[in-house]
A and B are shown apart, each in its own frame.
Chain A
Amino acid sequence: MPRPEERFVTFSIDGREVSAPAGVMLADGAKYGDIEIPVFCYEPKLGAPVGACRMCLVEVEGIPKLQTACSTPVKDGMVVHTQTQRVREAQNSVVEFLLVNHPLDCPVCDKGGECPLQDITFGWGRGISRMVEPKRHFRKPVELSPLIAIDRERCILCYRCVRFSQEVSEDYQLILNERGASSFVGTFDGHPYVAPFSGNIVELCPVGALTSRAYRFRARPWDIEGSGSVCTHCPAQCNVEFTVRDERVLRVLARDNHGVDDGWLCDKGRFAYQAIHSDERITEPLVRNPDSGELEPATWEYALDVAASAIEQAGSSVAAIAGGTTTNEEGFLLQRLVRAVGSADLDSRAGLPPVPAETQRALAAPALQATIPDIEFAHTVLLLGTDPIDDVASLDLRIRKGVRRNGVKLAVATSRPSALDANSRLWLRYAPGAEHAFVAALAAAVGGADGVEALCEKADADPKAVAALAQLLQDGGEDVVIVWGQRIGAAPLPSLLNLAAALRLGERAGAGLIEVPVGGNARGLREVGVQSNAGPGLKDAKAGKSAHEIAQQAADGKLTTLYLLHADPVRDYADRRLWERALQGAEAVVAHATLLSDALRATATVVFPAESYAEKEGTIVNLDGRVQRLRPAIGRPGSVRAEWQVLADVAKRAGHDPQVLTGPIVTQQVVAAVPFYGGLTLEEIGGKGVRWQERDAASAAPEAPAGPFEAGEPLAAPRPNGALRLGTYRSIWAAPEVEVSPALKFLTAKQQAEISPVDADRIGVDNGGRVTVSAGDVSVLASVFVRGNVPAGTVFLAEATAEQSATELLGGEPGLVEVRPA
């Protein structure tokens, strides 16, 4: 569905002529005339209004009864009164009525001071109550979930939380139990409300009924300061506001940015801030003592000298890997240093295979780039090889919103069952590892080429479903947005570009591709040149080795110094054993980290304490090219230094002074080095970010090669033959910051083998049973999760869990595994 056109209507409110967009509700339209209408239940983000609280009653001429401003759209020539005696009496009465059962324990309540009920009672209430009878009582406070406390006495039954659960996150868990004055919010059977987006209801609640357990009684609004920044935990890069008291982050709130997050946060973004103040954080440089062989705290001078001499001595045999939380500035300084010492062994692709510079430039073409809001208004959205709930959480809500409100036709094509299957017009599965064959088949089907059947055979996908998907993409409407995961690898990308060309995605503004990368700032890091085959601005550069090759070489003892900037390849990258050998094989390992992983503890030569995202200053790039700005909210703990400064100091001591004195100077250098950022300033980026494709400098984007692209011959997925195909995914909860956050700890991802009911029967296990999944001599233990949508002959394991990670089994090509009861 295309974006609605904005048309303005003029109406009169309290004697003022006000013009507002047609179709908006009176409660919003009144704001165009600087008139405030009090509301409790109305929240445009939640969709259609329900008019539950009756707070917004206004008088509309021509209608005998008072109308709810939240559910009355503005009309041309409408005459509205908000200040008449009738309206005032109605408002007074509604407030008095709401307070009949409200306990008024404001001094104890966490919402006190930032409570809409307090504000509206103060502004529109009677000031006294005639209520002398005893109030309704519930047991309180009750844990709605380990993250959320519910106080049912305070609830005014506005339905906001229930609507969020039913209509926004669509987990359908929250309902209103009982009737009348006995109504209360809860789950059907008292089960804890655990869902990936549950924390949003705390922010939605207009009273103190739903409060965060992590923030419980921590601070008052007058004790705190808000500090806007961006969350870097996943590529969604939701805009957040840190609540800071005494130099500590106590809470994370959503900072509404329609271009990025639509005002929602996932629970990881909302609660993983606790990792910032974890006791386990490194707050001083650690250097390995050559005598004892232990990592020991050291002075900055010494640590910088050790790191610099390791780089100086290694010369061109330095390799560097940047993790997803690295900012553009840090990545830029790192690649400058590595390229200055004569190496080109750089990677930021989370161990995934490198993409040729040509293909990258074609994918980065501004015309082919869809924006995140485009998902909401497209005719068709295709999810290709990614499940947003795990890879880019808040995009999940965006897709649901498009489907529910704008009739977006969703198609899901993944190897693993997706959380969005139920919302999709059509979903289909292909074998894990056969992405190339599947995308080639789809491109062939859309382009009307031959060989679709054969390719489907290779991908183990249903040819009819592929044909139906091709049909949907072609006939469903011109605006098609393909959301594809970086996890599909490099091989399918030429086919993907051919598919985009066949669908003419580059020709329409609302259509295009969106890549879901692995790692928070993966796009920005590639654009500033942290990769082996392209320099800053995706320009050609001396070719170097990718992460996997770096690991091979280090394991063979051919690489002397390995620089790990926020990267933990042993945990996160495929083939854990190879990386373990690589870290041991390298002569020196220099790392920046907030938490000391086991691998670093065992092998690192120097560990610099890294800043958390609440302390960082810099820029990052969102999925659709939106350059956003990180701003420091709190001071750095211990002796932690700004990382651009650490990188600059290391470079200076290694004899390659980058001439950097402040953070913004690095930003200037980045902007100067990347042509399509041309002239970008921190002021221009501001609080909401700016998409570089929408600026004049986008014309300096590298020229995209014209298609068609040589797709190559895809490999066929292996036949199971009694064994199972192994597919992997990375859970949103499989991260160190989840493990060290006390509030989120209970959600930490455990290894789980997702198998189809057919295979479960064959192996003889049931839900919760223990199995060993083995490939060759390597095996991991997992508990069984029988999932109906999993195609038979396939097992899915989680990557990057703290223990028993699937990366153990990924020793090269995705292959077959044996699953046996443990």
Chain B
Amino acid sequence: MAWTPGDDVIAVQRAPEPGGAGGAYRAFGETLRGLKTTFARMLERPVVYQYPEQKLPVYPRFRGRHKLHRFSDTGLEKCVGCSLCAAACPADCIRVVAAENTPEHRVSAGERYAAVYEINLSRCIFCGYCEVACPFDAITMGHDYEMSDYNRQDLIFTKEMLLAEPLERTPLRTEDE
């Protein structure tokens, strides 16, 4: 069946063909219009943030640097070292080595805990799959986005670094912002 356009047709506005005196006139006019546009911007206030002093508030679901969590009541780590985050990670930047809890040395609530938990943030693409994969909500994406460093080695975050709160909290966007 042949297709009938019906009401779907949208007339495309085309610019006049260039050339001739009219073209030159239009080109001149457009040039002036461009100059006017940039000049008008100069009279407005700059919209940028003064970054280190003034930080951009992030949305609550912003995917920044990861955080590992503890249970608030017992202080035990939520992570049991199951490595599912490492399996889900498309950038292969998580390394988990698990170990067994003993009554004398209890780290997590389950039988096993993560003896080594490292995220190579220089590889991380902040996709949040680790957070989705985690069966214990032990890892979440935090709001911290200030992670630059002088040394690549320092971008491999260990479990202790991930468990600790970031030194400076990133401002969170309020409801009306």
Give chain A's interface residues, CB within 8 Å of chain B. 105-108, 112-113, 141, 216-220, 222-223
B60: Cβ under 8 A from any A Cβ:
no
Name which of B13-21, B83-91, B149-157 contacts chain A. B83-91
- Closest partner residue, chain B, to A107 (CB atom): B82
Give chain B's interface residues, CB within 8 Å of chain A. 80-84, 86-87, 96-100, 110-112, 135-136
Bound CA–CA A219/B86 (angstroms): 11
Cβ–Cβ contact A222 & B87, under 8 A: yes
Cβ–Cβ contact A223 & B110, under 8 A: no
Given contacts A107-B135, A107-B136, contact A220 B86 (CB under 8 A): yes
Bound CA–CA A219/B96 (angstroms): 8
Number of A-B contacts (CB under 8 A): 40
**Which residues on B sit within 8 Å (CB–CB) of A222?**
83, 86-87
Cβ–Cβ contact A105 & B99, under 8 A: no
Cβ–Cβ contact A141 & B111, under 8 A: yes
Cβ–Cβ contact A112 & B111, under 8 A: no
Cβ–Cβ contact B112 & A108, under 8 A: yes
- Residue contacts A-B, CB under 8 angstroms, 17 given: A105-B110, A105-B111, A106-B82, A107-B82, A108-B112, A113-B87, A141-B111, A216-B100, A217-B112, A218-B97, A218-B98, A220-B86, A220-B87, A222-B86, A223-B83, A223-B86, A223-B96
**Which residues on A sit within 8 Å (CB–CB) of B81?**
217
Cβ–Cβ contact B86 & A108, under 8 A: no
**Cβ distance B156 to chain A, nearest Cβ, rounded Å:** 15
Cβ–Cβ contact A220 & B83, under 8 A: yes
Cβ–Cβ contact A108 & B82, under 8 A: yes
- Closest partner residue, chain B, to A221 (CB atom): B87
**Which residues on A sit within 8 Å (CB–CB) of B111?**
105, 108, 141, 217
Cβ–Cβ contact B98 & A217, under 8 A: yes
Bound CA–CA A223/B80 (angstroms): 16
**Which residues on B sit within 8 Å (CB–CB) of A105?**
110-111
**Cβ distance A211 to chain B, nearest Cβ, rounded Å:** 10
Bound CA–CA A682/B52 (angstroms): 64
Given contacts A216-B100, A217-B98, contact A107 B87 (CB under 8 A): no
**Which residues on A sit within 8 Å (CB–CB) of B136?**
107
**Which residues on A sit within 8 Å (CB–CB) of B96?**
220, 223
Bound CA–CA A659/B135 (angstroms): 58
Bound CA–CA A378/B111 (angstroms): 49
**Which residues on A sit within 8 Å (CB–CB) of B135?**
106-107
Bound CA–CA A218/B97 (angstroms): 7
Bound CA–CA A107/B134 (angstroms): 9
Bound CA–CA A222/B82 (angstroms): 11
Greatest chain A CB density within 10 A among B80, B111, B136 is at: B111
Bound CA–CA A113/B86 (angstroms): 12
Bound CA–CA A222/B81 (angstroms): 14
Bound CA–CA A121/B136 (angstroms): 21
**Which residues on B sit within 8 Å (CB–CB) of A217?**
81, 98-100, 111-112
- Closest partner residue, chain A, to B111 (CB atom): A108
- Closest partner residue, chain B, to A217 (CB atom): B98
Cβ–Cβ contact B86 & A107, under 8 A: no
Bound CA–CA A223/B111 (angstroms): 20
- Closest partner residue, chain B, to A245 (CB atom): B97
Cβ–Cβ contact A108 & B110, under 8 A: yes
**Which residues on A sit within 8 Å (CB–CB) of B87?**
113, 220, 222
- Closest partner residue, chain A, to B79 (CB atom): A107
Bound CA–CA A753/B98 (angstroms): 44
Bound CA–CA A218/B83 (angstroms): 11
Bound CA–CA A781/B106 (angstroms): 44
- Closest partner residue, chain B, to A222 (CB atom): B87
**Which residues on A sit within 8 Å (CB–CB) of B82?**
106-108, 112, 220
**Other 5 A-B pairs with CB < 8 A, given A107-B135, A108-B111, A220-B83:** A105-B110, A107-B110, A216-B100, A219-B83, A220-B96
**Cβ distance B132 to chain A, nearest Cβ, rounded Å:** 14
Bound CA–CA A222/B87 (angstroms): 6
- Closest partner residue, chain A, to B135 (CB atom): A107
Bound CA–CA A296/B86 (angstroms): 43
Bound CA–CA A223/B100 (angstroms): 18
Bound CA–CA A108/B97 (angstroms): 13
**Which residues on B sit within 8 Å (CB–CB) of A216?**
100
- Closest partner residue, chain B, to A108 (CB atom): B110
The 6 residue pairs across chains A and B that have the minimum distance between CB atoms: A107-B82, A217-B98, A220-B83, A108-B110, A217-B112, A222-B87
Bound CA–CA A106/B110 (angstroms): 11
- Closest partner residue, chain A, to B88 (CB atom): A222
**Cβ distance A803 to chain B, nearest Cβ, rounded Å:** 32
Greatest chain B CB density within 10 A among A106, A107, A141, A219 is at: A107
- Closest partner residue, chain A, to B133 (CB atom): A107
- Closest partner residue, chain A, to B138 (CB atom): A107
**Cβ distance B104 to chain A, nearest Cβ, rounded Å:** 16
Cβ–Cβ contact B84 & A107, under 8 A: yes
**Which residues on A sit within 8 Å (CB–CB) of B100?**
216-217
**Cβ distance A33 to chain B, nearest Cβ, rounded Å:** 33
**Which residues on A sit within 8 Å (CB–CB) of B112?**
108, 217
**Cβ distance A147 to chain B, nearest Cβ, rounded Å:** 15
**Cβ distance A122 to chain B, nearest Cβ, rounded Å:** 15
**Which residues on A sit within 8 Å (CB–CB) of B97?**
218-219
**Cβ distance A118 to chain B, nearest Cβ, rounded Å:** 12
Cβ–Cβ contact B98 & A107, under 8 A: no
- Closest partner residue, chain B, to A216 (CB atom): B100
**Cβ distance B41 to chain A, nearest Cβ, rounded Å:** 53
**Which residues on A sit within 8 Å (CB–CB) of B84?**
107
Bound CA–CA A107/B110 (angstroms): 9
**Cβ distance B30 to chain A, nearest Cβ, rounded Å:** 59
**Cβ distance A79 to chain B, nearest Cβ, rounded Å:** 42
**Which residues on B sit within 8 Å (CB–CB) of A112?**
82
Bound CA–CA A112/B86 (angstroms): 14
Bound CA–CA A719/B110 (angstroms): 65
Greatest chain A CB density within 10 A among B80, B83, B96, B100 is at: B83
Bound CA–CA A220/B86 (angstroms): 10
**Which residues on A sit within 8 Å (CB–CB) of B83?**
219-220, 222-223
- Closest partner residue, chain A, to B112 (CB atom): A217
**Which residues on B sit within 8 Å (CB–CB) of A218?**
97-98
**Which residues on B sit within 8 Å (CB–CB) of A223?**
83, 86, 96
Bound CA–CA A216/B96 (angstroms): 14
**Cβ distance B111 to chain A, nearest Cβ, rounded Å:** 5
**Cβ distance A238 to chain B, nearest Cβ, rounded Å:** 29
- Closest partner residue, chain A, to B83 (CB atom): A220
**Cβ distance A246 to chain B, nearest Cβ, rounded Å:** 9
**Cβ distance A108 to chain B, nearest Cβ, rounded Å:** 5
**Cβ distance A557 to chain B, nearest Cβ, rounded Å:** 54
**Cβ distance B102 to chain A, nearest Cβ, rounded Å:** 12
Bound CA–CA A550/B100 (angstroms): 52
Greatest chain A CB density within 10 A among B84, B96, B99 is at: B84
**Which residues on A sit within 8 Å (CB–CB) of B98?**
217-218
**Cβ distance B84 to chain A, nearest Cβ, rounded Å:** 6
**Cβ distance A643 to chain B, nearest Cβ, rounded Å:** 31
Bound CA–CA A219/B112 (angstroms): 12
**Which residues on B sit within 8 Å (CB–CB) of A220?**
82-83, 86-87, 96
**Cβ distance B117 to chain A, nearest Cβ, rounded Å:** 13
**Cβ distance B91 to chain A, nearest Cβ, rounded Å:** 14
- Closest partner residue, chain A, to B82 (CB atom): A107
**Cβ distance B124 to chain A, nearest Cβ, rounded Å:** 18
Bound CA–CA A133/B37 (angstroms): 71
Bound CA–CA A651/B136 (angstroms): 61
Bound CA–CA A105/B100 (angstroms): 15
Greatest chain A CB density within 10 A among B96, B110, B112, B136 is at: B112
Bound CA–CA A223/B86 (angstroms): 8
- Closest partner residue, chain A, to B114 (CB atom): A217
Greatest chain B CB density within 10 A among A113, A218, A223 is at: A223
- Closest partner residue, chain A, to B110 (CB atom): A108
Bound CA–CA A141/B110 (angstroms): 11
**Which residues on B sit within 8 Å (CB–CB) of A106?**
82, 135
**Cβ distance A250 to chain B, nearest Cβ, rounded Å:** 11
Bound CA–CA A105/B110 (angstroms): 9
- Closest partner residue, chain B, to A110 (CB atom): B112
Bound CA–CA A536/B135 (angstroms): 61
